[in-house]
Chains A and B, each alone.
Chain A
Amino acid sequence: MKILVYLKQVPHQDARLDVSGDGTWIKEENIKFEINSYDSYALEEALKIKDQDATSEVIVVSAGPERVVQALRQALGMGADRAIHVRDDSVDATDALGLAKTLANVAKAEKPDVIFMGFMSDDGNFAAIAPMVAELFGVPHATAVIALTRNGDTFIAERELEGGNLEVVELKAPCLIAVQTGINQVRYASLKGIMQAKKKPVDPKSAGDLGVAGQLAAKVAIEKIYVPAKSATAEILQGSADEIAEKLVAKIKELGLL
């Protein structure tokens, strides 16, 4: 199987976030980045297929500035075969539709049998790109997939619904699967993998190469991001750990629970 995995590099989940000078995104200087949590699970699903069928090819694709090469190298270290780096300022500044058009054109050029993506990004939280890419590439999709089995080119996907219910759907390749976190246990890159990754190709592509130059004007624009004023806030206990513990004990007694 030919498998495409889209992955985004996002600020590390423990990074301290500060709003950028123009107020529309965060300051990228001096923070660590990592592979979007959902996308590590997407890559693992792809690598599981490759484990069963060594003739499979896993291609990882990421759009973003120079720093995303780090994420692509990590994915190659975990076992992906080659990488495509979409590097263009106009792609980085567009909205979900513009990004989806760009990424769908990678799929049109590569013609994969299956695409794995994350359900959502840890930073933008749009949960937009997967169904959009599926539509533009012309294949069926399933989102929030928490279990997946494959029989030849048929996939049985369990979609997570509210309250613990699962919706079981069947799709045939070519198709796109957007995974939920927890669908598998993600492997680590081995030392050997990391060494081998250095020789694997990372192919750069511009908006022009992908035929989307001039088509990326945002239809919806992020005007501003900010730390919201809290609608309500808890009374914050002060003091040393032991003093705080005493105050909590008093409260728990008052509630009649001690």
Chain B
Amino acid sequence: MGNILVITELQRGKIREASYELLSFAKKIAAAKGHSVCSVVLGKDVAAEAEAFAKRSGGPVYTVANPVLENYNVDAYCTAIQAAVDKAKPELILVSHTPSGWDFAPRIAARLDAGFVSDCFNIDATGDLVFVRRVFGGKMDARVAVKSTPVVATFQPGATEACQDSAAGSVEALDVAIDAGALRTKFVEVKAPQAKGVDLTKAEIIVSGGRALGGADKFKEVIEPLAEALGGVVGASRPVVDAGWLPHERQVGSTGQVVSPKLYIAAGISGAIQHVVGMKGAQFIVAINKDPDAPIFEVASLGVVGDLFEIVPALTKAIKAAKG
């Protein structure tokens, strides 16, 4: 029946793991709906990676090779993807929900007059195709059903296993003209993160506070004394840094630091996926949150449902007493 087009993503010349995860979703949908899977690899040098992908994907793997695709560029990517879409005429286009994916995928959807659903972590292909995604920052899930195709869908990296099949696919290079002079968004450079004053990645104990703290003064009053008593360091969720209560070097998460301490205490942090990817590698996680449904309890080893302004000072006092 119809086609599913998987848009792969190169990172430092290699196809990302997330692209192989997309392939797993694509194959699952294809099996249920009688679709065929095709893919596209875009970049400067693509031949070897396209071959590698074809060995797992089967089906045609289209390539668009062009020096302007070396760094992500929304206009160049949309032109290249449009060529693959013209070729595959897909009913479904799958993209990873990454900084490039979320930038071009809605744009492609609008160009194709297609439906759009983002940041999905599961599918249900038993009836109308349904995408499952989080809403309200992870407090609820939503089932979003396809009513008319084509549809562009982005998927959360890490949401499923990478496809490990071995298959016989073919690679077909597409001839696409991209006028570098006509690109309206110009790539300038990628800046690496600056050296930090504190290195959370080396800490054994991290006590992190979230938006619930309500102000910089409360960090000083409540979170810092606990971190000090434990001989640990203070971390934070993103809203704390956005509000200027603590500097960015304290932020844990996908756009902060990825930490793996022996003990991570999260106080007044809801457990949004972008925070969790930064701390789920901790050996032992204690979550303190007044909402029993908060997603943080899913990753925590021990939980306290209660007011952090009561629990944290009591804990600080008990630790000081235990140390004598």
Given A140-B74, A185-B244, A252-B319 in contact, is the A100-B110 Cβ separation under 8 Å?
yes
A169 to B255, CA, bound (A): 18
Contacts of B99 in A (CB 8 A): 143-144, 159-162, 167
> Chain B residues near A11 (CB, 8 Å)?
136
CB neighbours of B104 from chain A (8 A):
131
Contact A158 B191 (CB under 8 A): yes
Q: Contact: B143 with A222, CB < 8 Å?
A: yes
Instruction: Given A125-B119, A241-B306, A249-B322, check contact A219 B137 (CB 8 Å).
Output: no
The reply to whether B191 and A244 form a contact with Cβ atoms under 8 Å apart is no
Contact present for B137 and A218 (CB under 8 Å): no
Q: Residue-by-residue, is A97-141 near B (CB-CB < 8 Å gives 1, otherwise 0)? A: 100100000000000000000000011111111111111100111
User: When the two chains form the complex, which single residue of A163, A167, A226, A257 contacts B141, counting CB atoms closer than 8 Å?
Assistant: A226
Query: How many angstroms between the C-alpha atoms of A42 and B239 in the bound complex?
Result: 16
* Cβ proximity bits B116-156 to A, threshold 8 Å, 1 near / 0 not: 11110000000000110111110111111111110100000
Contact: B185 with A234, CB < 8 Å?
A: no
- B302 contacts the other chain (CB 8 A): yes
* Interface 1/0 per residue, B285-310 and A, CB below 8 Å: 11100001101011111111110001
* Beta-carbon contact of B204 and A257 below 8 Å: yes
Which secondary structure dominates where chain B touches chain A? mixed
| Main SS at interface, chain A | mixed
**B199 CB within 8 Å of chain A:** no
| Residue-wise interface mask of A (184-198) relative to B, using a CB-CB cutoff of 8 A (1 in contact, 0 not) | 010000000000000
Interface string of B308-322 (1 = CB under 8 A from A): 001100110111001
Count the A-B residue pairs with Cβ separation under 8 angstroms: how many?
Answer: 266
Contact A244 B314 (CB under 8 A): yes
- Cβ-defined contact, A221 with B74, below 8 A: no
Q: Give the size of the chain B interface in residues (CB under 8 angstroms).
A: 94
Contact, CB under 8 Å: A181 / B319: no
* Nearest A residue to B303, CB-CB: A234
Question: Do A248 and B143 touch (CB < 8 A)?
Answer: no
A162 to B158: give the CA distance in the assembly, Å: 14
Q: Which of B19-27, B43-51, B168-176, B256-264 contacts A (4 or more CB under 8 A)?
A: B256-264
- The answer on a CB contact under 8 Å between B185 and A140 is yes
Q: How far is the CB of A241 from chain B (nearest CB, A)?
A: 4
A96 touches B116 (CB 8 A): yes
Q: Are A17 and B140 interface neighbours, CB within 8 A?
A: yes
Query: Taking each of B109, B134, B244, B292, which has the highest tally of chain A beta carbons within 10 Å of its own beta carbon?
Result: B109
In this assembly, does A67 line the interface, its C-beta being within 8 Å of a C-beta of chain B? no
CA of A126 to CA of B115, assembled, Å: 12
Select B142's contact among A122, A158, A159, A222, beta carbons within 8 Å. A222
| Distance of A223 Cα from B311 Cα, bound (Å) | 40
Indicate the member of A19, A142, A165 with the most B CB atoms within 10 Å. Answer: A165
A257 to chain B, nearest CB (A): 6
Q: How far is the CB of A102 from chain B (nearest CB, A)?
A: 12
Check if B110 sits within 8 Å of A131, measured CB to CB: yes
Query: A54 contacts the other chain (Cβ, under 8 Å)?
Result: no
Q: A122 near B137 (CB under 8 angstroms)?
A: yes
Cβ–Cβ < 8 Å partners of B134 in chain A: 125
Cβ–Cβ contact B146 & A257, under 8 A? no
Smallest beta-carbon distance A103→chain B, Å:
11
Do residues A170 and B137 form an inter-chain contact, with CB atoms below 8 A?
no
Residue numbers in A under 8 Å from B136 (CB-CB):
11, 17, 26, 122-123, 125
Contact A225 B141 (CB under 8 A): yes
Q: Which of B151, B188, B303 contacts A235 (CB 8 A)?
A: B303
Which partner residue on chain A sits nearest B71 by CB separation?
Answer: A167
* Given contact pairs A165-B192, A169-B186, A255-B283, a sample of 12 additional A-B residue pairs in the complex whose CB atoms are under 8 Å apart: A37-B239, A123-B136, A127-B106, A127-B118, A132-B116, A141-B74, A141-B107, A161-B190, A166-B190, A182-B241, A224-B142, A230-B295
Top 6 nearest A-B pairs by Cβ distance? A219-B115, A164-B193, A182-B242, A234-B303, A140-B184, A234-B300
Binding site for A on B (CB under 8 A): 71-72, 74-75, 98-99, 102-107, 109-111, 113-119, 130-131, 133-137, 139-149, 151, 184-193, 204-205, 211, 230, 238-239, 241-242, 244, 254-258, 262-263, 283-287, 292-293, 295, 297-306, 310-311, 314-315, 317-319, 322-323
12 contacts between A and B (CB under 8 A): A127-B118, A128-B116, A129-B106, A142-B74, A220-B151, A222-B142, A222-B144, A223-B142, A225-B135, A234-B287, A237-B302, A249-B322
Interface set of A (CB-CB < 8 Å, partner B): 11, 13, 17, 19, 26, 37, 95-97, 100, 122-136, 139-144, 156, 158-172, 175, 181-182, 185, 217-228, 230-237, 241-242, 244-246, 248-249, 251-253, 255, 257-258
